[in-house]
Amino acid sequence: MGYPHKPHPRETVVLSKHFGDPEARTYKGWVRRGGYEALKNALATDPAAIIEEVKTSGVRGRGGAGFPTGLKWSFMPKEKTKPHYLCVNADESEPGTFKDREIMRWTPHALLEGTAIAAHAIRAEVTYIYVRGEFTEPLAILEKALAEASTAGVFGNMKIYLHRGAGAYICGEETAMMNSIEGKRGNPRIKPPFPAAAGVFGMPTTINNVETLVAVPHILKNGAAWYKGLSLSNPKSTGTKLFSVCGHLAKPGNYEVTMGFPLKDLLYELGGGMRPGRTLKACIPGGSSVPILNREESESCLLDYEGCVEKGTMLGSGGVIVFDDSTDMVYQIMRLARFYAHESCAQCTQCREGTAWTTRILERILTGQGAMKDLDLLLDLADNMTGKTICVLSDSCAAPVVSGIKKFKSEFEAYITGKKRPVAA
């Protein structure tokens, strides 16, 4: 659902409080809503104390990997001998995920405020906000907000620049992003060195997701204890999270809930349930890169990092893709594999060849040319694509394939045996 809309009573509205309120986009409007207070206080606070507070809050990265944010910040050199950089990951391209876009469209100053606090905490002089090239509207809104806030002088000596991407999913991977900022092809880098040691321009760098950063002002304002208290299940998952819900659902959109919220309630209550006459078949809870859940797993999954792992998947970016009983799972898995094949940077053999080969095999199954042994071949390929490459794009392609074959095997077999009519792929 678009904005403005009234939040569902079961949402915990923190980050999305001002979504749909055009006045919040302006500097004056943001200040009137209490904006930039947290930044003002932060600038008068020792960076180490801010990092400690963020650590205590338990907030973890919302870009997909779930790495503890305070800990990440603490990896930056204590002894400052070189310039430090902050990169903000606004490349949001993971299929199923559309939360950062909404944050930037409605509350650009929330991002700028969180960004400036992070830059202060890691002592970065320069920040690049890397916005995906297709996000024309968020870019324009951010540009305006940045100009207004800079004129108002809220960033002191810190420099914040927007850097527009140009169409490449892989540039959301942090080291690929740094290469892209440097004017190179977006190939991920081998780690180590880790960004905190040698990141963009070879300097100590921290990369954070948009949603991670917009949580920071709230943590500083309300205290780490408050944030830590926002947890419905596992205490290692704290805070609120924006879940983007899409696919076969009555009310797709973004919903902000406390960590540990039941996926079932997100789908059936907040998301309005399935379309009339339809039932849930499968769900991918963390963006297309994580294993697919079947109906039973989905209906018993708790939405936090641990709850998703318990069901054999991951929270990822919080992009929830819903498939109802009308879905051809084989076709959709092929479509996802094709995405990864298209987006592979082609550096690593396993990924370049594996994503393309996986797609070809799936296409052949769909067009009625598959054989039973293709399923073993797909699993074997997936095995060779997991944990063997510079970045995890290849693993991401394998995830829906492996979980798909495991949970929806009969659909693959129906194409192979000719029980199901071939389709164009």
Partner 1 sequence: MSTATQEYQAVFAGKTRAQLDEILTRYPAKQAALLPALWLVQRERGWISDRSMTEVAEVLGLTPAYVKGVVTFYTMYHQHPVGKNFVQVCTTSPCNICGAEGVVRALLEHTGAKDLGATSPDGQWTVIEVECLGACGFATPVLINDDFIESVTPEKVPELVRKYR
- Is 339 an interacting residue with respect to partner 1 (CB under 8 A)? yes
C-beta separation of 154 from 116 below 8 A: yes
H-type alpha helices, 14-77: 27-32, 37-43, 47-57, 69-74
Binds partner 1 by CB under 8 A, chosen from 22, 191, 201, 417: 201
The smaller minimum CB distance to ligand FMN, of residues 241 and 407, is found at 241
The single residue listed with the structure tokens 């202060």 is: 120
Closest distance to ligand FMN from the beta carbon of 379 (Å):
22
Find the part of the chain contacting ligand FMN (CB under 6 A) among 27-35, 89-97, 270-278, 292-300. Answer: 89-97
User: Applying CB under 6 A, what is the total number of residues that bind ligand FMN?
Assistant: 22
Cα-based angle 415, 356, 352 (whole degrees, multiple of 5):
155
Which element (helix H / strand E) includes 226? helix 224-229
- Is 65 an interacting residue with respect to ligand FMN (CB under 6 A)? yes
Residue 88: beta bridge partners?
129, 208
Closest distance to partner 1 from the beta carbon of 331 (Å):
8
The smaller minimum CB distance to ligand FMN, of residues 94 and 304, is found at 94
- Is 199 an interacting residue with respect to partner 1 (CB under 8 A)? no
Closest distance to ligand FMN from the beta carbon of 136 (Å):
17
| CB-based contacts of 423, cutoff 8 Å, min separation 6 | 328, 331, 366, 367
What 3-state class would DSSP assign to 316? coil
Per-residue contact string for residues 157-196; x = within reach of partner 1 by CB under 8 A? --x-x-xxxxxxx----------xxxxxxx----------
- Residue type at position 368: G
Closest distance to partner 1 from the beta carbon of 128 (Å):
8
Half-sphere exposure of 274 (CA within 13 A, CB side): 17
Residues 197-216 that bind ligand FMN (CB under 6 A): 207-209, 212
Residue 212 interface partner, choices partner 1, ligand FMN, none, CB cut-off 5-8 Å depending on type: ligand FMN
The smaller minimum CB distance to partner 1, of residues 231 and 332, is found at 332
Residue 97 to residue 57: CA distance in whole angstroms: 24
Residue 335 interface partner, choices ligand FMN, partner 1, none, CB cut-off 5-8 Å depending on type: partner 1
Residue 303 to residue 237: CA distance in whole angstroms: 9
Residue 186 interface partner, choices ligand FMN, partner 1, none, CB cut-off 5-8 Å depending on type: partner 1
User: In whole angstroms, what separates CA 374 from the centre of its chain?
Assistant: 32
Binds ligand FMN by CB under 6 A, chosen from 35, 58, 63, 271: 63
Residue 64 interface partner, choices ligand FMN, partner 1, none, CB cut-off 5-8 Å depending on type: ligand FMN
Residue 274 to residue 252: CA distance in whole angstroms: 10
Query: b/e map of 154-165 (b: 16 or more CB within 10 Å)?
Result: bbeebebebeeb
Residues 307-326 that bind partner 1 (CB under 8 A): 319, 321, 323
- Is 132 an interacting residue with respect to partner 1 (CB under 8 A)? yes
Question: If DSSP states are collapsed to H, E and C, what string results for 124-164?
Answer: CCEEEEEECCCCHHHHHHHHHHHHHHHHCCCCCCCEEEEEE
User: In whole angstroms, what separates CA 324 from the centre of its chain?
Assistant: 23
Q: What residues make contact with partner 1 under the rule CB under 8 A? A: 1-2, 83, 92-98, 100-101, 126, 132-137, 159, 161, 163-169, 180-186, 201, 244-248, 252-254, 288, 319, 321, 323, 327, 332, 335-336, 339, 342-343, 345
Q: What residues make contact with ligand FMN under the rule CB under 6 A? A: 61-65, 67, 89, 91-94, 170, 172-174, 207-209, 212, 391-393
